[in-house]
Amino acid sequence: MNWTVPLSDLDYGLDEEQAVLTVLRSKWLTMGAVTQQFEQEFAQAHGAPFALAVSNATQALHLACLAIDIGPGDEVIVPSLSFVATSNAVLYTGARVRFADICGPTELTIDPAEIERCLTPRTKAVIVMHYAGFPCRMPAILEIARRHHLAVIEDAAHAPGAFLDGKALGTWGDIGCYSFFSNKNLSTGEGGMLVTHREDLAARLKNLRSHGMTSLTWDRHHGHAYTYDVVDLGYNDRIDEIRSALGRVQLAKLPANNARRARIACQYWSAFSAAPLTLPFKDQYFSSAESQITNHQSPSFHIFPILLPPGTDRQSFADRLREVGVQTSLHYPPIHTFTYYREHYPGISLPITEAAAAREVTLPLYPTLRPGQIERVIAATLHALEI
């Protein structure tokens, strides 16, 4: 399909090309100096003491679960309104998930009261997901976690460069996991990052990332180590220097690109203010986003969700946008409704998640969206609603 307005697009240019060439010519391709620089810069930009680059966010979530010793017999509370990797990561360890509902149709993030409802004596952790880069209710969630001795993992795949009360999303809990998949705010094709403020977890994660080995090829190449021991059941979840080089360039562009996303989201919000749509997060963030959000309170505007009026035929709505070249998507079919999950977790009902997900459509949002494209999306959406 040749979309006039695709759902997302990369902001890639000469700087990315140059960064890749430099790595190729250096002839050091796997984790090394560039990856270390990327980790340091990412840590600094997010105010995180430790950052570890990995192969993707799915594995970041998996390693996060392993680092806090989640395994068979444990339960982890997760939102169902997320990408399936949020929940799969728990299942890889042999633990089980409990699905929590969201706050409501205008706040599509996990409801803290639902975390309390899902608690059992087996609950070991909660994974929260900052939907579209809008913060979950972290103070309330951390308070519940403290009271019940739960670890908190943040699926911050949507949220690099996003802040709540001046603190980066991903750094509120024990471990934060970011994705650098091609359609994410910071993209390297495939890639991810783990952050933590706990030195013990950082050491464990570093080990798990590379076969549980006590030294890396890089260390041995530089004479820092000659042999190694294997002290944990680790994996190969490393990133490579080409992706880290792309990540450094993209990280430098992130604040300006997130601000562009905020401006476009505000344009959508004002254009749709009289339309019969539910606009998630608008009432909470419209004014602050318009006034050029500071680093203090800034979502990352990863995607732009709208909820159609109840009863609208969503497929025909999407078809009408497709006819004028506008691509849309769904975020998300709830995890508990997938066949695999229905078989392993039968009889789950999450009324708020199910109602919101059934009405949700995601419109194109990315920093390089041109004014004419934005107008086309707005006009097509308003027109499709009138029919």
Ligand X SMILES: *Cc1c(COP(=O)(O)O)cnc(C)c1O
- Known catalytic residues are 184
Within a 10 A sphere around the Cβ of 330, how many other Cβ atoms? 13
| Shorter beta-carbon distance to ligand X: residue 56 or 257 | 56
Residue 54 beta carbon to ligand X: minimum distance, rounded to whole angstroms: 9
Among 35, 123, 179, 210, the residue binding ligand X under the rule CB under 6 A is 179
Residue partners of 374: CB distance under 8 A and separation at least 6: 264, 267, 268
Residue 301 beta carbon to ligand X: minimum distance, rounded to whole angstroms: 14
| Shorter beta-carbon distance to ligand X: residue 180 or 272 | 180
Residue 190 host element (H or E): none
127 lines the binding site for ligand X (CB under 6 A): no
Residue 120 beta carbon to ligand X: minimum distance, rounded to whole angstroms: 24
Among 46, 124, 137, 158, the residue binding ligand X under the rule CB under 6 A is 158
| Shorter beta-carbon distance to ligand X: residue 239 or 378 | 239
Residues in contact with ligand X, counted by CB under 6 A, come to a total of 14
| Shorter beta-carbon distance to ligand X: residue 108 or 380 | 108
Task: In whole angstroms, give the CA distance from residue 15 to residue 247.
Answer: 11
Query: Segment 188-217, which members bind ligand X (CB under 6 A)?
Result: 192
Residues 378 and 268: beta-carbon distance below 8 Å: yes
Q: Are strands 102-104 and 107-110 parallel, antiparallel or unpaired?
A: antiparallel
168 lines the binding site for ligand X (CB under 6 A): no
157 lines the binding site for ligand X (CB under 6 A): yes
Residue 373 beta carbon to ligand X: minimum distance, rounded to whole angstroms: 23
Among 190, 193, 123, CA closest to 156? 193
SS3 185: coil
Task: In whole angstroms, give the CA distance from residue 371 to residue 353.
Answer: 33
Among 28, 181, 218, 338, the residue binding ligand X under the rule CB under 6 A is 181
Among 55, 41, 67, CA closest to 196? 67
Task: In whole angstroms, give the CA distance from residue 147 to residue 262.
Answer: 36
Angle at the Cα of 272 (from 270 to 274), degrees rounded to 5?
100
Residues 306 and 363: beta-carbon distance below 8 Å: yes
Residue 272 beta carbon to ligand X: minimum distance, rounded to whole angstroms: 24
Q: Are strands 192-196 and 304-307 parallel, antiparallel or unpaired?
A: unpaired
Task: In whole angstroms, give the CA distance from residue 131 to residue 146.
Answer: 23
Residue 231 beta carbon to ligand X: minimum distance, rounded to whole angstroms: 26
| Shorter beta-carbon distance to ligand X: residue 35 or 376 | 35
Task: In whole angstroms, give the CA distance from residue 70 to residue 91.
Answer: 10
Task: In whole angstroms, give the CA distance from residue 158 to residue 177.
Answer: 10
Residue 322 beta carbon to ligand X: minimum distance, rounded to whole angstroms: 23
Within a 10 A sphere around the Cβ of 304, how many other Cβ atoms? 25
| Shorter beta-carbon distance to ligand X: residue 62 or 376 | 62
Query: Segment 50-89, which members bind ligand X (CB under 6 A)?
Result: 56-58, 82-83, 85-86
Among 123, 122, 131, 49, CA closest to 301? 131
Beta strands in 221-375 (DSSP E): 304-307, 360-363
How far does CA 25 lie from the centroid of its chain? 32
Residue 199 beta carbon to ligand X: minimum distance, rounded to whole angstroms: 25
Angle at the Cα of 103 (from 56 to 318), degrees rounded to 5?
65
Binding site for ligand X (CB under 6 A): 56-58, 82-83, 85-86, 129, 155, 157-158, 179, 181, 192
